[in-house]
Amino acid sequence: MDAAQAVEVNSIMLATMAGAMVVLAGALYALVYAIGKLAHSVSLVRLSYLFYAFLVVSVLILARTLNFSGIWNWVAAVMLAGYLLAPQGIWKLCVNTHLDEKLLGKDAPDSDLHVTDTTDSSPRSVS
């Protein structure tokens, strides 16, 4: 194996590892963000942004190793924006969906909302 082949093999290995780190960092960002929101933990939400920073570094290494140019740099940028906004958007969607369920009195065991039964005109508490 000559020097050029060794560099190519090295680049392929680095790109593979960077690609794996993209998946791992993206998953950890979303997971820690969701757990932080569920636990009302500001420190976990901040930790999730550290995983996002790790994701950005991994994408930059991947782009450089694979010699991204032109539109591929834009694809990487859009992917990073999507990774940043998706967990936040999904969280808001889930919160609003369950808030709507509580307001409608559906599946809200811990709700203090009162719902009027159609067969009985007296309000009852959903339990």
pLDDT given for residue 118 in this prediction: 47
SS3 label, residue 114: strand
Q: Are 83 and 52 in contact (CB under 8 A)?
A: yes
Q: Report the run of H or E that residue 81 belongs to, with start and end.
A: helix 71-104
pTM: 0.71
DSSP for 3-57, please give it: HHHHHHHHHHHHHHHHHHHHHHHHHHHHHHHHHHHHTT-HHHHHHHHHHHHHHHH
Task: Report residue 79 CA to chain centroid gap.
Answer: 12
Beta-bridge partners for 124: 115
Tokens coding 31 = 């997971």
pLDDT, tens digit, 9 for 90 and up, residues 38-87: 999 999 999 999 999 999 999 999 999 999 999 999 999 999 999 999 99
Lowest-confidence range among 20-24, 60-64, 114-118, 120-124?
A: 114-118
Q: What percent of the chain has pLDDT over 70?
A: 72
Asked if the model's pLDDT at residue 12 lies above 80, the reply is yes
Could you give phi then psi for residue 115, rounded to 5 degrees? -120, 140
* Close Cβ partners of 24 (under 8 Å, ≥ 6 residues apart): none
